Every structure is written in structure tokens, then in C-alpha cells.
Chain A
Amino acid sequence: MSNEPRQSIYDSTGPVTDTRDARMGEGVDDRFNSKLREAFGSQPFILTKFDQFMNWVRGSSMFMLQFGIACCSIEMIHTYAIKHDLDRFGAGVPRASPRQADVIIVPGTIVSKFGPRMKRVYDQMPEPKFVIGMGSCTISGGPFQEGYNVVKGAEEIIPVDIHVPGCPPRPEALVYGVAKLQERVANGETAPVVVKPYELEQFGDLPRDELVQKLADQIDEDDLVMRYNWADSP
């Protein structure tokens, strides 16, 4: 017998992989925008656990944006206020400024005039940020879906993590939605960023092949267009 370890042990990467997987736990994916995870991978024990700790903290102490649009905002206020008291779930203090908020609840119908404003509010929130769509209007336009001026769902403009259906949802339903979001955040999940029809068609973002270059040269910045094309929306 030599003092060398057995072939099956030092030739295999199995034990290392198994340990690493065990440390990572379940539900973690790389969509969480963690620069640390990107830099270090998942090897260092402390960082993995620190990330999980941060997720738990994020989920347990949410700063909501004080954001009222339409009917649902009345039920949203009831959710914050006495009796339902969202604060019991660590998500009760609405912030008036988007720069201090983690979560935006979109409570109501979005119309073409308000869409760009809502995107602007969303853009001002610091990362990581989460969106709860409250009510049928934020899912599809709800009862106003056929209106000439109505955006058919909040997802046309910003990515939505949790949809709470109802017209309007009861406060209990919104509490459930918030609790579900907390669960997801604690597991390190976020919604993938969707392509937004509101985004300007900026030629600068396309790969610079010859054709694009030629087209881009022809375009005057003043002629960039923004489309409200709700007819093609689902």
C-alpha cells in the first residue's frame, strides 16, 4: 500500500462538484445580476452564503413605491392600512420616491399618455427591482382592453414578476402576491428582462455591419419614431 490516495479519488472531480452543488443550494440561478458571483464563481463558501443572506434580507425588507394609478390603488391602500396591514410581512412602508424603492406595485390601467411616465418611474428605481402587476388591467388591459387608448398590460412597458389577477384583487390576494414575490426573491430569482415595445429604435445598438452603418448614416435623429401600436398587442 502506498501513501498515495486511491486513483478513483484524486482522478475524479466528483467530490468537489458535489460539495459545490450542495453549498449552492437550490433555486439559485445566474440571472440575479450578482457581480460577485460572476467574478468568483460559486467556489468560495462565504460568498455563496452571503448571497443567500442578501436575498433573504431583500425579501424580508421591501420598500414599496407609493404609486397609485386607478381603482386597484384603493384596494392597495387598504392592504397597507389597518386590518390587512402589509407591514406584518416586512413590506409596509411606501416610499414616495422611486429612488428609494425596491418594489413597484402597478395598480391600474395604463393608458398611452401614462405609459412613458411609468417607464420613467421604473427606470429611476435602483437595481435589483421587482414589479407586481395588480389587477386585470396590468395583465391584459382588463375590462378596458378594447379601448383605443389603453395599453394591453403592464408587460408591454416594464417586466413584471408577479401578476395578481382580479378586478380589483382583494387585499388578501395582494398580500399573497407580495408573499410569493418575497419567496422568489429569497430564492434569488428575478424575472428576465423583456423587450419593451416602447424602446426607441436606436440604430446604435445594432451590430455595425455595413448595411446598418449605411442606414444609420441616412437617419436624422429628429426622425426617430416611437410607436404606440396597440393593435398588434396580444
Chain B
Amino acid sequence: MSTDLTTTADQIDEDGLEALIGDRALTRDDHKNAPGFVIRPDEVQSVLFDLRDQAGFDHLSCVTAQQYDDRYESIYHLKTYDDPTREVSVVVPTPVDEPVSQTAEPVFRSADWAERENFDLVGIQYEDHPDMRRILLPETWQGHPLGLDYDQDKPQVVKFAQHANPLEADQHDTESDTMFLNIGPHHPATHGVLHVKAVLDGETVVDVEPDIGYLHRCEEQMCEQGTYRHQIMPYPDRWDYVSAGILNEWAYARAAEDLADLEVPEYAQVIRTMSAELCRIAAHMLALGTFALDVYGDFTAIFQYAFRDREVVQDILEDLTGQRLMFNYFRLGGVVWDLPEPREEFFEKTRDFLDELPAKVAEYDDLLTGNEIFQLRCVGTGILEPEVAKQYGCTGPTARGSGIDVDLRRDDPYGYYEHLEWDVITEDGCDNYSRVLVRMQEVEQSAKIIEQCIDLLEEWPEDEREIQSNVPRTLKPPADTETYKAVEAAKGELGIYIRADGTDKPGRFKIRSPCFHNLSALPEMVEGEYIPDLIASLGSLDIVLGEVDR
């Protein structure tokens, strides 16, 4: 996207979009967050190309699929990297008896995995998609579980022959001298249960394909079965489970509060901001520790130090929320309770942690980023160019490590961030090293935010400490209200799409996971590099499989 295009694009407003799409828009289907245009399934590419090239929408944030009684529907949620508040939704209905829609993959590479997921879970076929296979469920699965006619109690019967073990056959290709190598799903460097199929030529990676779905826990189904008010909130903690729970809770809280027009008291916003940033520190510390472990087997120093610091953060969060890992602290319209009594003790404990943090970060710099072996492994490996990152929908530290200046806390403000002093960190190296640097500096910025929040909370008048607004006991947003809202989670843009169907449970609950899209860029980063760099790149993406698979 050249800059002059983007400046003209800024002037395109809703009327401009209407004119741009023209006759191709059958009707309007506006969502709460963005104007929505309904188009025919065979015009997906032409509309998306126009929106990308002429209106500047360079970020395909999410592709939602759902089934109604009379139709299937794919929704393309588009944004721009420069200004994420500029949004547009492209709605593509397809008939129930023949759910075939044109693929958006030639326009946005991020549609590749997103559409595969929609095919897998909902059952929409995307025409001309390069690789229309299941992505989360086993290849042999029968039925599409989020479709309306799916019967969960029907046993899945799979022929033995279909369970061929990939390790048994001779994978050595004598013709071309390449070797097939399975990495995972049980492997210390895959950060969980990721399976990477790699083809090697000597030590060089020729082809790599991440195989996910080993932790697909039906999070969307679970959320669709829960009531808005209380039953959904525990689940976000378990998406990105490396102590980043509160950041995820905020994603759900933000989407649901937008859907039901709930206000959040200012005092609660400050507490939310503080606790979310504590979570971000804990999450980035884990990323740092495991990355050191991956790259040069540092189990004794960095890894243990990072966990020492995480313990301190977890102690503070436990004082606040009552839990070490699965906080369940947010409520719609606020937080569940006020700061622990005595407040002075809590402030002192948090301040102690913040005071010690700069010395600890300096120690990490000495041990890790200043380490020659570490630099040899990380500088100039796993290159992810900014244009490629945008194509794959990368967000968060992964995008900022490629020099893309995007951070929803600043660009699409929520919580109390806009009233605080802090900076968005970017690095231009595009390599593994930059991504680590971004995370380390973000820890310092988070500390800065927490400090300001503590100052505010300390001086907050006692009779104005309102922790929750007045929210009805049973929340029933009006039927057919739809919204897509995102927050900046530890790994990037964590978005939630909710469609209300008039009951107290969501009609469709879709999670846009940052790790899912970051991971899809892995082949671009490692093909042609050495296999140890594959491990380093995987570590620097900082994926959490709970969030990739959901």
C-alpha cells in the first residue's frame, strides 16, 4: 500500500464506499461497529480488491461464518492498519443447499486459514481456494460441528486405514534428496501441541506446514452455550492461558458491552487497565523465558529468572482476583470487586515490583539481548517483511517487530489508555531479534502504565469508587444485533464477533485469534532458512496453542 493511496483513502467515507461497491451491493446489513454490504458470492474478490486497492482496507481482520435457517453467511471484517477504527464488513450469503462462495485468498493471504476454519466448523465451501481441507478437526471428521444440523451424539467412526501413521512410511525421497520431518505434536520447542510438517534439504527448510487442532476445545461452542452475564467470562481466561487471562476477558467484555450498550465506570476502567497490563508483563516474561530456552537451551538462568518475576506478578494478581492463572475478574460493566484491603499493602507490593523491574530488565539485557550466541541465532533470521505481515493479518508484537506501527490501545482507544502517558514500541529489524526487543520494551511500557494507574487509584475519593455499572441480571440484547470488537491482547488483535438472537445467549460467538494469524505466516519466515532458525522463529512468534486452536 503506497502512502498516497492511503491519504486519498482517508477521505472515503460511507457514501464513498457505497459508490465504490455500487451495484454489487445487494443491500446493506450494518453492524454495530461498521457499515456492512451484502454482496453476491461470485463477486467476493472484485469487491475486496476494490476495497483494498482503492479504499485502503489493507487488513482482513477476521472471517466469520455462520448458518441461519435459510442461508449460510460469511462475513469479511476489514480494517486498515493505519486506523483500525475505519472498518467495513462484507457479508456474503450463500444458499443452504449449495454453500459455495468465492475465496478471498488471492486478495488477502490471511483468508487462507480463516476460510479453511469456516469450512471445517460451519461447512461453507470456498471456490478456487488453494487448499480446502479441514484445519482444526481430524481429516476424518464427519459433519461440521457449528452447523445447525450437526448431531454431537452421533459417534465418529473412522476406518483404521485412514489412521495411517505418518512416521511409519519411509519419508526419504530418493529422487529429490529431501527428507520429511515431523516436529511435534509432543515436542519441547513447539510451545504446546503444535505439529509442524517440515521438508528438509540437508539442514535447509524447503517446505513447512503447521498442522494445528491438537487443542481445539470447542471454545466457540462453549461460549454459545453460556449466558452473557456470567457464564461466558470464565472461558476467555483459557484462550491465551499464559496468565494473559484479563486481556482476553477484556475482549469479551468490550464486545458484549458494545452489543448491549453498557457503560463502565471510570474507576473500574482504571482497575481494568492496571490488571490487564500486569497480565501483559506476565505473558511477555513467559515468552522471553521460553524463547531463551528454545534458542540456546537456557533452562537455568533466563528461564528461571523469568519465572521468578512471573511469580511476583501472579502473587499481585492473586491478591487482586483470588486466582493465580484463571482470573475471571471482569464483569460486564466493570470488575467483580474492588482492590483488596488493606489497599496500602496492595499498592506497596505493586510498587515494590515496579521499582525492582528496571534492574531486572537491565539484567535480561545483559544476559539475553547482549549475549553474542543469542544475537548470532536471532539477528537476521526469521525475516518477516511488513508487507507480508500485513497480508497474513499479523498483529501485536509480531507486527511491531516488523516496523508496523499498530497498537489498538492507542489507535482504537478503550479502557483508560488514552489518558495515560506511554509509547507504542516498534522495531524495524523484521527478524527474531526485533520481536524479542519489542516484547522487552513493552514490559517497561506496561510498568509505566501500571504506575500511573496506581497513582490514580491511590488518590481516588472513597465515595466515588464505583466498580460496576447497573447491568440487568439477565442480559438480552435485541435480536440480530451484530458487532465485532477487538482489543490489544498479549499476542495482538484479539477480536470477538457476537450476533445476538434475542435470547440471553449469543447466536454466534466467533473468536479472532491473533496467534492463529501470526502462525499462518510461519512458512514465509522460515522457508529457505536452516532448521534451527525454524525453532527460533516459532519461539519468537510466541504462539499459545489454546488461542490458535480455541
A143 touches B235 (CB 8 A): yes
> Given A78-B311, A114-B185, A231 and B218 touching (CB < 8 A)?
no
Q: Report how far A149 CA is from B138 CA in the complex, Å.
A: 10
A74 touches B242 (CB 8 A): yes
Q: Please give me the residue from chain A that is nearest to B241 by CB atom.
A: A71
Contact mask for chain A residues 204-234; partner B; CB cutoff 8 A; 1 contact, 0 none: 0000000000000000011111111111100
> Does A168 reach chain B (CB closer than 8 Å)?
yes
Q: Please give me the residue from chain A that is nearest to B326 by CB atom.
A: A167
Q: Report how far A200 CA is from B193 CA in the complex, Å.
A: 24
B150 touches A148 (CB 8 A): yes
Kindly count the residue-residue contacts between A and B in the assembled complex, taking CB atoms under 8 Å apart: 142
> Given A149-B145, A227-B155, A144 and B324 touching (CB < 8 A)?
no
A82 touches B546 (CB 8 A): no
Which has the most chain B C-beta neighbours within 10 Å: A75, A111, A121? A111
A68 touches B192 (CB 8 A): yes
Q: Which of A96-116 contact B (CB under 8 A)?
A: 96, 98, 108-109, 111-114, 116
Q: Report how far A146 CA is from B231 CA in the complex, Å.
A: 14
Q: Please give me the residue from chain B that is nearest to A108 by CB atom.
A: B215
Q: Report how far A119 CA is from B235 CA in the complex, Å.
A: 27
A77 touches B307 (CB 8 A): yes
Q: Report how far A200 CA is from B192 CA in the complex, Å.
A: 27
Complex interface: chain B residues within 8 A of A111 (CB): 213-217
> Given A74-B325, A82-B311, A117-B186, A112 and B156 touching (CB < 8 A)?
yes
> Does B173 reach chain A (CB closer than 8 Å)?
no
Q: Report how far A230 CA is from B151 CA in the complex, Å.
A: 12
> Given A71-B325, A225-B159, A228-B158, A146 and B222 touching (CB < 8 A)?
yes
Chain B: how many interface residues by the 8 Å CB criterion? 52
> Does A147 reach chain B (CB closer than 8 Å)?
yes
A147 touches B222 (CB 8 A): yes
> Does A73 reach chain B (CB closer than 8 Å)?
yes
B307 touches A147 (CB 8 A): no
> Does A150 reach chain B (CB closer than 8 Å)?
yes
> Does A54 reach chain B (CB closer than 8 Å)?
no
Cβ distance A117 to chain B, nearest Cβ, rounded Å = 5
Q: Which of A71-105 contact B (CB under 8 A)?
A: 71, 73-75, 77-78, 81-83, 96, 98
Complex interface: chain B residues within 8 A of A143 (CB): 222, 234-235, 238
> Given A70-B546, A170-B324, A227-B157, A144 and B218 touching (CB < 8 A)?
yes
B192 touches A70 (CB 8 A): yes
Q: Which of B44-89 contact A (CB under 8 A)?
A: none
> Given A66-B188, A143-B235, A113 and B214 touching (CB < 8 A)?
yes
Q: Report how far A230 CA is from B141 CA in the complex, Å.
A: 13
Contact mask for chain B residues 300-328; partner A; CB cutoff 8 A; 1 contact, 0 none: 00011101101100100000000011100
Cβ distance B229 to chain A, nearest Cβ, rounded Å = 17
> Does A195 reach chain B (CB closer than 8 Å)?
no
Contact mask for chain B residues 528-550; partner A; CB cutoff 8 A; 1 contact, 0 none: 00000000000000000110000
> Given A71-B238, A75-B325, A114 and B215 touching (CB < 8 A)?
yes
B216 touches A149 (CB 8 A): yes
Complex interface: chain A residues within 8 A of B238 (CB): 70-71, 143
Complex interface: chain A residues within 8 A of B464 (CB): none
> Does B356 reach chain A (CB closer than 8 Å)?
no
Cβ distance A19 to chain B, nearest Cβ, rounded Å = 49
Q: Report how far A147 CA is from B241 CA in the complex, Å.
A: 19
> Does B152 reach chain A (CB closer than 8 Å)?
yes
> Does B163 reach chain A (CB closer than 8 Å)?
yes
B160 touches A109 (CB 8 A): no
Q: Please give me the residue from chain A that is nearest to B306 by CB atom.
A: A81
> Does A69 reach chain B (CB closer than 8 Å)?
yes
> Does A130 reach chain B (CB closer than 8 Å)?
no
> Does B436 reach chain A (CB closer than 8 Å)?
no
> Does B131 reach chain A (CB closer than 8 Å)?
no
Q: Which of B148-192 contact A (CB under 8 A)?
A: 150, 152-161, 163, 185-186, 188, 191-192
Q: Report how far A167 CA is from B217 CA in the complex, Å.
A: 15
Complex interface: chain B residues within 8 A of A148 (CB): 145, 150, 152, 218, 221
A74 touches B326 (CB 8 A): no
Complex partner residue of A147 from B141, B156, B221, CB under 8 angstroms: B221
Interface size bracket, A side? 35 or more
Q: Report how far A222 CA is from B305 CA in the complex, Å.
A: 53
Q: Please give me the residue from chain A that is nearest to B162 by CB atom.
A: A226
Cβ distance A109 to chain B, nearest Cβ, rounded Å = 5
Q: Report how far A181 CA is from B300 CA in the complex, Å.
A: 27
A222 touches B217 (CB 8 A): no
Which has the most chain B C-beta neighbours within 10 Å: A148, A168, A222, A232? A148
> Given A113-B214, A224-B159, A225-B160, A71 and B326 touching (CB < 8 A)?
yes
Complex interface: chain A residues within 8 A of B145 (CB): 148-149
Q: Report how far A225 CA is from B163 CA in the complex, Å.
A: 10
Q: Please give me the residue from chain A that is nearest to B152 by CB atom.
A: A148
Q: Report how far A77 CA is from B308 CA in the complex, Å.
A: 11
> Does B137 reach chain A (CB closer than 8 Å)?
yes
Q: Report how far A227 CA is from B160 CA in the complex, Å.
A: 10
Complex interface: chain A residues within 8 A of B234 (CB): 143
> Does A63 reach chain B (CB closer than 8 Å)?
no
Q: Report how far A230 CA is from B153 CA in the complex, Å.
A: 8
Complex partner residue of A231 from B153, B192, B219, B286, CB under 8 angstroms: B153
> Given A81-B304, A148-B150, A70 and B218 touching (CB < 8 A)?
no
Cβ distance A52 to chain B, nearest Cβ, rounded Å = 34
Q: Please give me the residue from chain A that is nearest to B145 by CB atom.
A: A148
A200 touches B160 (CB 8 A): yes
Which has the most chain B C-beta neighbours within 10 Å: A81, A82, A113, A144? A113
Cβ distance A202 to chain B, nearest Cβ, rounded Å = 10
B156 touches A73 (CB 8 A): no
> Given A75-B324, A82-B311, A146-B222, A113 and B216 touching (CB < 8 A)?
yes
> Does B483 reach chain A (CB closer than 8 Å)?
no
A71 touches B152 (CB 8 A): no
> Does B391 reach chain A (CB closer than 8 Å)?
no
Complex interface: chain B residues within 8 A of A121 (CB): 186
B325 touches A168 (CB 8 A): yes
Complex interface: chain B residues within 8 A of A221 (CB): 160
> Given A78-B311, A82-B308, A147 and B214 touching (CB < 8 A)?
no
> Does B398 reach chain A (CB closer than 8 Å)?
no
Complex interface: chain A residues within 8 A of B369 (CB): none
A interface residue numbers (CB < 8 A to B): 66-71, 73-75, 77-78, 81-83, 96, 98, 108-109, 111-114, 116-118, 121, 143-144, 146-150, 167-168, 170, 200, 221-232
List 10 A-B pairs, Cβ < 8 Å: A66-B188, A69-B193, A70-B192, A75-B324, A78-B310, A112-B138, A121-B186, A146-B222, A149-B217, A225-B160
Q: A71-B241, A227-B158, A228-B156 are in contact. List 7 more A-B contacts (CB 8 A).
A: A67-B186, A77-B307, A78-B311, A82-B305, A109-B217, A221-B160, A228-B157
